[in-house]
Structure 1
């Protein structure tokens, strides 16, 4: 068959007509698919698959048109040229061609979506991951703090990626003493993948580390692994590199800001880094003695490497913690906080931790709500996965009576770090002060204590919530029992004072018991301690609003840490509505005064 005959045969077999019809149908389908997928914000792979199928389908259509005749009567095999056939050509059914193409595309997309559903942790479908506790295979038990610090540092870098949800170290380690498998841990933490790290050698100037990325659905599968030998002075750059590599492996596109943050090259003195990790190790325990140890190590790190910002932020955070939770008076802590905080921001304006500390100081020390919100938002921008930052921001929002926003931030923080006791405790306060949800608050505090029975924050707030819940129900004997249990556990009331209050309660009831509390406090002072906040609450129970207002004004005078909360829905403050003295305090503090 010569070329002329071949071209004639193509025409006879309607190959030209099929190619034109296929091109028109494919173009129409691509346009429609583009509009629909854009409306539903579908992943790019869907459109890419449709285009690929249409392109691959073209030669298949040509081959089929050579072999078969597609017409209104169906599909028939094309007869050879020498066989007599009707001279009238049958028009090709464009509808049939389009129908076949649509069917092929739907089957392909359905298959792809099935894979996505049953294997959601494939590359491009990983939107959350847990960085598990680093293993220490060096044989030196004293390096456990170093392994813990490396995990914290890598989490800190990974949390800067807004497209990823990365739980904190506390939540990620909540199953470390169990035999749970990686898929089981991931299922409990509601993450798509996990990162395992191990330290295999430790020298004077370098360390050996292996990082492994594991998907967990539908079954455990290693996606990526790499061994590193790192110079200790380059350790911070190592975290940046691993963060970028993992993002690449799971097809996470970094924003320009995230690219800039992770592109920064930092060298650090190895001994300073070692001291800093020890500081983090103790700071995360949060009790007074551990934070004092953390201060010493952070201070040592600044002396060894004066140009590194993070130890200064650590110092500011630790000193701020002392005053925030009442361990030391502000007259002692603030002269320490400001110089370290300013130094941290001077050395690194993009330090999320420094902006977070600046927000805490602005809200609970300076009562500068605008500055506090600005600093919280900046910190969240730099580290969108910081659950504590979001919870404290929620506290500010409920203080400003932005109730819905407060709930949103609190829920987001809890989703980010659901197994961290302090996160649960702060969430419980939002349930209490913002929503008047006593049972929700009690559940949050109890869950925190089930994770860490020694958690001091929820350990202090749970008795308060239970006491008020009992008082609201008229269970006054239970209220006194809970009070005795609380002051006994916290050691703020001597035995003689407690016995006197219990005796008054038994003989004359709960009102007499409250009056005895005031008498004991007046007689023994700090041996029967009552804060300004507690005094105003007890005066309200006695119906003495004037005395309650005096306690509130005293709190304002000494700038007590509870004062920002006086504009919330906490039941005590409902008693003050319309009271001119209360409204005046709100006005002087710059808090909302509407409906008061």
Structure 2
């Protein structure tokens, strides 16, 4: 069900039933009874889908409504309370009274001059405004006294606040965060892989918490090297808080600086510097993750605390260094170099389970996107099995095993591996996503749609899982659910492509959805753009867009080209409903024979 955009503001009686009730808008909790004004908001689209229920998509409306919340005097009074100025004043007055009483009794007994008591009173009076000013300007935190960067509007200024100056009401907590790529401050620019790796490790740890929505790596890293203020970043990523920092590596030492910033007020929630031996980098990551959780005031179960303090499967810093290099290259699409780095890590530490899993994923990835070769399938199987033997309690090892089993067509065993990974870590995106692909390849479309839905719940800004869910729903013939999922999918693609204009795979998948939902002209334009960026990587999706648009000749030409490279998966092609209209075409049957 889709509710049309509307904003209704009506007077309401303050009652116990209204007091404290909450509405939730784009991750922002706000009172629905504000100074006697009840705000009923529905904007953009409201999804009845359980994963997205209660999520409205227009931050602007709640900002406008909240701007009616308080008068300038009330806002100033609220700022006095927030900065604890009133509390400091009250405590100062009480302490001053006690000091004066003691001086009045003790000074005469000590034979001090009569004017000495008056001097004490005068000094206390002079110190009162000084104490208030200091209370206004500084915050007392566990790490010491820090400046308070919050800004309060001038109550004497009657001019209306600008849209960007309107503050949201204080939240009870934070429920979304983005981890920006840490700056590489090392003398060697080639150490960028290390700073990126630290950022990704922290992002992955925070992703394990279901009560916290974490912007995906792709979205967060789109701001790398850009000079953008934190408010803009938070707005574009739709998060409450931003984690940023820097890494300086020199010899066997590393300095990591991290700071957590409120994306709405630009106020520092927490910051810390860590000067450690390089071998202590694992402990530093644990400390940072714990401090972020504490700063965001999240309540964790013992199991969740253990998840963010993941036990490392190596203590060898050289092996870890190669592992980070491998991740760095794989994220940039250089699977061959990434695989080599994982193999180097294994040479240094043959018991490094994550390195074995990384190598297995490279072989499985090659089967999925480039060439389904017997050698790649064999290596994916062997490496993933080794990772599982070394670390049977590691969710990533089970997910990697499931991925390799899928590449080898052993779907029943793959399902068991994915389910085990999800039991160990319910927030592991890869387990849900690749389970969806395994279900799809078997024709289990309902299970596939549900798995892609869960993957998208873990990463709400991920276009891939959203797009494949639409494909599964279309194959099922579930038009009602497809209409809702499709509209949301296109919105995700628009935001993603605005941040990542060079993502060829995203362009190609967006092309399929646009054609599917009636905009063939724009869809084919997207398809052509994707093909120009990376033809070998998105050829299959581009072909799907063309066949859905009725351009059969071009679609079959691209599909045959991709099939002759050994890059088309037989089971996937057999289940993909995009090709239903041409399955009886002799040219398509010839391609099926090529695929095998």
Same fold by TM-score, threshold 0.5 exceeded? yes
Cα gap change, 1:521 to 1:427, in 2 (>3 Å):
closer
Q: CA deviation at 1:210?
A: 1.4
Indicate the residue corresponding to 1:5 in structure 2.
none
- What is the match of residue 235 of structure 2? 187
Aligned twin of 2:420: 378
Distance of 2:580 and 2:499 partners within structure 1: 35
Task: Give the 5 Å matches for 1:428-439.
Answer: 429-430=471-472, 432-434=474-476, 435=478, 437=482
Is the contact made by 1:449 and 1:455 (CA closer than 8 Å) also made in structure 2? Answer: yes
Q: Which has the higher helix share?
A: 1
What is the CA distance between 1:248 and its match in structure 2? 3.1
Q: Which residue of 1 aligns with 2:584?
A: 544
The match for 2:323 is 276
Q: Distance in 1 between matches of 2:297 and 2:527?
A: 55
Task: Tell me the residue number matched to 1:232.
Answer: 278
Decide whether aligned partners of structure 1 residues 466 and 307 sit closer, same or farther in structure 2, where only a CA change above 3 A counts: same
Query: Is the alpha carbon distance of 1:408 and 1:189 closer, same or farther for their aligned partners in structure 2, counting shifts above 3 Å?
Result: farther
Instruction: Name the counterpart of 2:376.
Output: 333
Residue 207, structure 1, aligned to residue 254, structure 2: yes
- Over 3 Å counting, the alpha-carbon distance change for 1:428 and 1:515 in structure 2 is closer
State yes or no: 1:410 paired with 2:452. Answer: yes
Distance apart, 1:447 and its partner CA: 5.8
Larger radius of gyration: 1
Distance 1:431 1:171 in 2: 26
SS in 2 for 1:211: strand
**Where does 1:104-183 land on structure 2 (aligned, <5 Å)?**
118-120=169-171, 125-183=173-231
Bigger drift between 222-231 and 182-191 goes to 182-191
Deviation at residue 222 of structure 1 after TM alignment: 1.7
The answer to whether the 8 A contact 1:207-1:232 is kept is yes
Residue 310 of structure 1 deviates from its aligned partner by 1.3
Q: How far has the Cα of 1:299 moved from its partner?
A: 0.8
> Does the 8 A contact of 2:322 with 2:345 survive in 1?
yes
Distance in structure 2 (CA, Å) of the matches to 1:128 and 1:344:
32
Aligned residues of 2:475 and 2:577 also touching (Cα < 8 A): no
Matches within 5 A, 1:17-96: none
Per-residue deviation, 1:359: 2.0
Tell me how far apart the structure 1 counterparts of residues 211 and 575 of structure 2 sit (CA, whole Å): 47
Q: Give secondary structure in 2 for the equivalent of 1:194.
A: strand
Residue-pair matches, total: 411
**Distance (whole Å) between structure 1 residues aligned to residue 347 and residue 430 of structure 2:** 28
Which residue does the alignment assign to 1:249? Answer: 295
Structure 1 residues 405 and 541: alpha-carbon distance in aligned structure 2, compared to 1, 3 A threshold: closer
SS for the counterpart of 1:202 is strand
Equivalent pair of 2:384/2:404 in contact (CA under 8 Å): no
Which deviations, in whole Å up to 9, do the C-alpha atoms of 1:474-533 show, x marking residues without a partner? Answer: x9x9999999999888768xxxxxxxxxxxxxxxxx89x859979x979xx949999974
C-alpha spacing 1:429/1:147, structure 2 compared with 1 (3 Å): farther
Partner of 2:429: 387
Query: What is the SS of the residue equivalent to 1:376?
Result: helix
The answer to whether the Cα contact below 8 Å between 1:234 and 1:268 also exists between their aligned partners in 2 is no
Pick closer, same or farther for the CA change 1:239–1:380 going to 2, 3 Å. farther
Give, in angstroms, the shift of residue 146 of structure 1.
1.2
CA RMSD, aligned part only?
Answer: 4.7
Name whichever of 275-284 and 423-432 sits farther off.
423-432
Paired with 1:535 and 1:422, the residues of 2 have a C-alpha distance of 18
Please say if residues 387 and 423 of structure 1, whose CA atoms lie closer than 8 Å, have aligned partners that are also in contact: no
1:296 counterpart (327, 330, 340): 340
Q: 1:348 to 1:479 in 2, by over 3 A?
A: closer
Is the CA contact 1:174–1:419 (under 8 Å) kept in the aligned structure 2? no
What secondary structure sits across from 2:303 in the alignment? helix
In structure 2, distance between residues paired with 1:339 and 1:205: 34
Answer yes or no: is 1:343 the counterpart of 2:378: no
Counterpart of 1:353 (choices 372, 381, 396) is 396
Deviation at 1:144, TM superposition (A): 1.6
In structure 2, relative to structure 1, the CA distance for the partners of 1:220 and 1:347 (3 Å cut) is: same
Change (3 A) 1:166 1:379: farther
- Aligned-residue offset at 1:136: 2.1
Deviations 1:85-136 (A, max 9, x none): xxxxxxxxxxxxxxxxxxxxxxxxxxxxxxx98211x5xx223222121122
Q: CA deviation at 1:300?
A: 0.8
Q: Report the Cα distance in structure 1 between the residues aligned to 2:199 and 2:567, rounded to whole angstroms.
A: 41
Q: CA deviation digits over 1:539-564, x for unaligned, max 9?
A: 96568389967866x48x84xxxxxx
CA positional deviation for 1:189: 2.5
Alpha-carbon distance in structure 2 between the residues aligned to 1:140 and 1:529: 38
Q: Which has the higher strand share?
A: 2
Q: Aligned residue for 2:409?
A: 366
What TM-score does the superposition give when structure 1 sets the normalisation length? Answer: 0.57
- Asked if 2 retains the 8 angstrom alpha-carbon contact of 1:394 and 1:430, the reply is no
Deviations 1:320-343 (A, max 9, x none): 100011x12330202211221122
Q: CA deviation at 1:233?
A: 2.1
Structure 1 portions without partners, runs of 5+: 1-32, 38-115, 493-509, 559-596
Please give the residue correspondences for 1:249-268 in structure 2 after superposition, counting only pairs within 5 Å: 249-261=295-307, 262=309, 264=311, 268=315
Cα distance change, pair 528–135 in 1 and its aligned pair in 2 (3 A): closer
